[in-house]
Chains A and B, each alone.
Chain A
């Protein structure tokens, strides 16, 4: 199979890569670019562990081909903190212990970031519906919801 040459932007940086036509964006991020924050859970768009934002839209990177990223803007978990300065969502996930094994966490953080950018003051129900595409099999969701609520309050004050 001939490789596809792709020029894209990831977390603000211009990136070029060659990938196979059937390779997913998730595989490109993890295996070619070393961005291993996005996780492969199900590989079929059910669990949200591979969530990234492409041109402002929350998507499962396992359901996007690497070749499709040409000319797009991709945001991953690696771009969420600014240097040592954690994003308020990351900080609140730590404070509320909103994770256990951590596999689902990058996906939850990206999905929560997208949610708060579109709706800065979500109700608990809106948070639960908004994060329904992300599955956690360790802790349940209460601590995650509380962390998102707390982060929303901090971000509104900022």
Chain B
């Protein structure tokens, strides 16, 4: 096995592209090292991306925020501007693991690990976050929901690295929220989860809405119909009921030790309602 620490994204991409055996990208390592220890992956090459310029920075740009792929989730929680603009994304990122794990884990890693139960991903999908992908043929920017294709699988090609996650600048009257169900109070894997992102018009009616569900299908689900039903409303009772029904209907969950299909369907609807209510309040709705 070889460990390398390239200083440029081009070098990292080049090494990954020409790797013959299995290769792994290392940022926080909180998934990678566990999988190596468990014998699930035996990389011949580990590419540590933490010394690549810009990958460990959160930058506020004219368009919004650029979160480098190696930024630990703890740093997101300490960034006041990001927290104010995207509280749902930050609260989701900060739910991953313990303090120790927070010091290492990244939202890009969470996305690329491609767990259906990844906490930060429904919040990122609801936020319409984008991923900047560097690869052998240059860079492209894609919607985060197109990255995971199934449990543990992504759409990234050989040699490709996500170098940053982009979040839009927030207009006035905007809010997002993320909620998950776990049987304990913290440090657990979501049984089911929901992220909601709203913008409101001047009168407090919902102008745009995105709803995403976690642990409800093989990948995190963007439920477009659920967003559409919210548009134009002020989250009245009837709208919230329709929201829950659509979310429950959109689920394609499994039965496992964490929860049953029936339970996940029901709770997905309830969490979507509650997350919508929090996002609405954060957006200044009454």
Proximity bits, A67-79, B CB within 8 Å = 1, else 0:
1101000000000
Query: By the criterion CB–CB under 8 Å, are B33 and A58 in contact?
Result: no
Q: At the interface, yes or no: A122 with Cβ under 8 Å from chain B?
A: no
Q: At the interface, yes or no: A35 with Cβ under 8 Å from chain B?
A: no
Q: At the interface, yes or no: A149 with Cβ under 8 Å from chain B?
A: no
A130–B102 Cα distance when bound, in Å, is: 11
What is the predominant secondary structure among interface residues of chain A facing chain B?
Answer: mixed
Nearest residue (CB) in B for A48 is B100
Q: Which of B1-9, B135-143, B259-267 contacts A (4 or more CB under 8 A)?
A: B1-9
Q: At the interface, yes or no: B34 with Cβ under 8 Å from chain A?
A: yes
Least distance between B3 CB and chain A CB atoms (Å): 4
A115–B97 Cα distance when bound, in Å, is: 16
Q: Which of A82-140 contact B (CB under 8 A)?
A: 111, 114-115, 129-130, 132-134
Query: By the criterion CB–CB under 8 Å, are A132 and B33 in contact?
Result: no
Chain B residues, CB < 8 A from A45: 30, 33-34, 97-98, 100-101
Chain B residues, CB < 8 A from A115: 99
Number of A-B residue pairs at CB separation under 8 A:
85
The listed residue (A48, A62, A70) touching B33 by CB distance below 8 A is: A62
Query: By the criterion CB–CB under 8 Å, are B98 and A133 in contact?
Result: yes
The listed residue (B26, B72, B98, B186) touching A65 by CB distance below 8 A is: B26
Query: By the criterion CB–CB under 8 Å, are A63 and B30 in contact?
Result: yes
Give how many B residues have a beta carbon under 8 Å from the other chain's beta carbons: 27
Give how many A residues have a beta carbon under 8 Å from the other chain's beta carbons: 32
Q: At the interface, yes or no: B48 with Cβ under 8 Å from chain A?
A: yes
Q: At the interface, yes or no: A80 with Cβ under 8 Å from chain B?
A: no
Query: By the criterion CB–CB under 8 Å, are A70 and B5 in contact?
Result: yes
Q: At the interface, yes or no: A158 with Cβ under 8 Å from chain B?
A: no
Q: At the interface, yes or no: B242 with Cβ under 8 Å from chain A?
A: no
Q: At the interface, yes or no: B19 with Cβ under 8 Å from chain A?
A: no
Chain B residues, CB < 8 A from A133: 97-101, 187
Known: A22-B36, A22-B46, A65-B3. 18 other contacts (CB 8 A): A21-B3, A22-B1, A48-B98, A54-B103, A57-B103, A57-B104, A58-B103, A60-B101, A63-B34, A64-B104, A65-B26, A65-B33, A67-B5, A68-B50, A115-B99, A132-B186, A133-B101, A134-B98
Can you list 27 pairs linking A and B with CB atoms under 8 Å apart? A20-B1, A21-B1, A22-B1, A22-B3, A24-B33, A45-B30, A45-B101, A48-B98, A51-B100, A54-B103, A57-B72, A57-B74, A57-B103, A58-B99, A58-B103, A59-B100, A63-B33, A63-B101, A64-B104, A65-B46, A67-B48, A68-B48, A68-B50, A129-B186, A132-B187, A133-B99, A133-B101
Interface set of A (CB-CB < 8 Å, partner B): 1-2, 4, 20-22, 24, 43-45, 48, 51, 54, 57-60, 62-65, 67-68, 70, 111, 114-115, 129-130, 132-134
